[in-house]
Amino acid sequence: MFVCLGRRDEVVHRNRDRSLGMQAEIGDAAGTIWQYLHEHGETTLSKLRRETKLSDQLLLMGVGWLAREEKLSFAQNGKAIKLGLRKRRVA
Question: Which numeric CATH code is attached to 26-91?
Answer: 1.10.10.10
% helix, strand, coil for the chain, step of 5: 65, 15, 20
Please check the confidence at residue 2 and state whether its pLDDT lies above 50: no
- At 69-80, the pLDDT tens digits run 999 999 998 888
Beta bridge partners of 44: 82
Let me know: does 61 contact 26? Beta carbons within 8 Å.
yes
The domains of the chain are located at 26-91
Average pLDDT of the chain to the nearest whole number: 85
Length of the chain in terms of residues written: 91
More confident: 78 or 31: 31
pLDDT at 44: 95
Please check the confidence at residue 1 and state whether its pLDDT lies above 90: no
pTM for this prediction: 0.77
